[in-house]
């Protein structure tokens, strides 16, 4: 989750190099930059966090109880 939190606001779509640059500029930990460097080299940009982390949880994955109905 921490990895994703540093890239949530990245300028999607983004290439591997753009994501690495973004992580460095925003002060992400070295581990985040290292994980990005391990990505496959590709000329195609990543469209979203889902492409980096297919199981990335979204707001829809969390159940929020609405107390107003009770």
Tens-place pLDDT, residues 9-60? 999 999 999 999 999 999 999 999 999 999 988 889 999 988 887 766 655 5
Closest CA to 4 of 38, 28, 30, 21: 28
47 within 8 A of 13, measured Cβ to Cβ: yes
Q: What's the confidence (pLDDT) of residue 61?
A: 47
Closest CA to 6 of 45, 56, 63: 56
Peptide bond into 13 cis (omega under 30): yes
What confidence category does residue 66 fall into, taking pLDDT thresholds of 50, 70 and 90?
low
Residue 62 has pLDDT above 90, yes or no: no
Q: What is the reported pTM? A: 0.75
């Amino acid at each position: 989750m921490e990895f994703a939190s540093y890239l949530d606001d990245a300028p999607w779509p983004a290439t591997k190099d753009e994501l690495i640059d973004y992580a460095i500029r925003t002060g992400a930990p070295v581990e985040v930059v290292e994980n990005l460097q391990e990505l496959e080299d590709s000329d195609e940009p990543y469209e979203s966090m889902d492409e980096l982390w297919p199981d990335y949880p979204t707001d829809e994955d969390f159940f929020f109880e609405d107390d107003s109905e009770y």
